[in-house]
């Protein structure tokens, strides 16, 4: 089951500042996230004390699905 991913205005602003290589890497990770949020390459972890999760994209960017 694929999930729908939405982006904030803040994300869109910063996304435009990425290099083409970074954008491609992020698109690939987002495709994996949409299909399988617990995929090992995303390093998905539950945020302690909440019902939210965090996934790491290439070391510095984090997404909360």
Residues near 22 by beta carbon (within 8 Å), at least 6 away in sequence: 58
Using alpha carbons, select from 62, 65, 61 the residue that is nearest to residue 6.
Answer: 65
pLDDT score, position 20: 94
**pTM recorded for the entire structure:** 0.67
Half-sphere exposure of 8 (CA within 13 A, CB side): 6
- Residue that is written with structure tokens 């290589």 in the block: 21
Structure tokens given for 29: 């990770």
Segment 8-65, tens digit of pLDDT? 888 888 889 999 998 998 888 888 888 888 888 888 888 889 887 777 765 555 555 5
């Amino acid at each position: 089951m694929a999930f729908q991913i939405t982006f904030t205005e803040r994300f869109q602003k910063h996304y435009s500042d990425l290099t083409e290589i970074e954008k491609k890497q992020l698109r690939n990770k987002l495709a994996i996230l949409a299909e399988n949020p617990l995929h090992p390459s995303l390093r998905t972890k539950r945020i302690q004390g909440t019902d939210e999760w965090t996934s790491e994209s290439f070391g510095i960017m984090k997404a909360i699905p």
